Structure 1
């Protein structure tokens, strides 16, 4: 299982949210590049980055930061937030980003997802964020009438191979991931599943690894010290 340390960007700085609420944003680090270099020093190969301003504005707002992180650290960067067009997908992938995450577009513009997957294949992931099992979009500000498993099946049918699933009620709480929903998703589709939201400690990492998930995104747990990145990476490498 791949560990994806997370860096969320708001107004150019590294922050964490609780349950997707922008009003809860707390600064957790000063420099995105230095933070990413710290993750690399611990042994990470990937970093998960989110343009929170972009998610809210429905267009990229901090793209230069993500491109700089990729260039300066050599880490594989997966980026989501505000990506609503092929032009933006192409821009990121042409400038050193390894994987682009389409979130709101999966609900509102599945044609874009289909086109992006056709052109870029596994460099495209879909982020499915759910509140009470229903998909949320537009920076989690809108809740749709689409069930998360139904959306996952639609995405699988158009060729998506990687899904990042977040239970919004768990995100940033350190209360543990939603194992029940993750298991249901893993059974429903053949896509690689990356778990996001609620991961607190090594026991959560072990639980996700034992369910044979593709990856786990860790944010607040790393910044608050309830999970050690080296320990998490070791746990995934040795089993």
Structure 2
């Protein structure tokens, strides 16, 4: 199982939100590239980056920070947040980003998402954020009527190969992740599932690996030391 420590960017800094609330933000490192290097020093091979400003306001204010992370590390980097057209996909890939994550656009322009998945293959993933089981978009500010699991089935049928699934109610809470959600998602044929949101203990990583999760994203747990990244990488990655 691949482990992706996470860097969420807002205003060029590495931050964490509580349950996706932009008003409940903690700054963990004002220099995101330094944070990426620290993760690499702990043995990480992968990195999950989210442009919170891009997700919320459709800006590219954090592009310089992402460019620096890509230039100064050898990590496999996936980036999401505000990627809503092919031009931005190309910009990130040209920077050296390994994979782009489509979020809001996957709901609002499903056909575009299917085309990008066909064109770029494993360099495209879809981030499916859920609140009370329903898909949430626009930096988690809007909740749609579509159930998240049903949406993931549609994505798989359209040729999407990888989904990063987040239960917003667990994100940043350190209260444990939604195992029932991932058990259900893992029944969808041909879809690689990355678990995200609330993972706080090594035992949860044991469970996710045992059930066949492709990857897990570690956020607040590694910043607070609840999970030792170096040990986690040795055990699972």
Q: Does TM, normalized by the shorter one, top 0.5?
A: yes
Aligned to 1:227: 227
Q: Bigger CA drift: 51-60 or 38-47?
A: 51-60
Looking at structure 2, the residues matched to 74 and 61 of structure 1 have their Cα atoms a distance apart, in angstroms, of 23
Q: Is the 8 A contact 1:60 1:83 kept in 2?
A: no
Ranges in structure 1 where 5+ consecutive residues have no aligned partner: none
CA distance in 1: counterparts of 2:107 and 2:68, whole angstroms: 30
The answer to whether the 8 A contact 1:60-1:81 is kept is no
SS at match of 1:188: coil
Any idea what SS the aligned residue of 2:187 has? helix
Q: List alignment gaps of at least 5 residues for structure 2.
A: none
Aligned equivalent of 1:156: 156
Contact 2:156 2:188 in 1 (8 A): no
Matched position secondary structure for 2:140: coil
Partners of 2:146 and 2:38 in 1: CA distance: 38
Number of equivalences: 237
Cα offset for 1:189?
Answer: 3.8
Distance in structure 1 (CA, Å) of the matches to 2:128 and 2:61: 21
Q: CA-atom RMSD, angstroms? A: 0.9
My pick for the range that moved more, 54-63 or 30-39, is 54-63
Secondary structure of 2:217's counterpart equals: strand
TM value normalised by structure 2:
0.98
Deviating beyond 4 angstroms after TM superposition, the runs of 4 or more aligned structure 1 residues are none
- CA apart distance, 1:202: 0.9
Write the distance in 2 (CA, Å) between the matches of 1:100 and 1:48.
10
User: What does residue 113 of structure 2 align with?
Assistant: 113
Shift in Å, 1:58: 2.3
Q: Look up the match of 2:32.
A: 32
Determine if the alignment matches structure 1 residue 198 to structure 2 residue 198. yes
SS of residue in 1 equivalent to 2:28:
strand
Q: For residue 157 of structure 1, report the CA deviation from its aligned partner.
A: 1.3
Shift of 1:190: 2.5
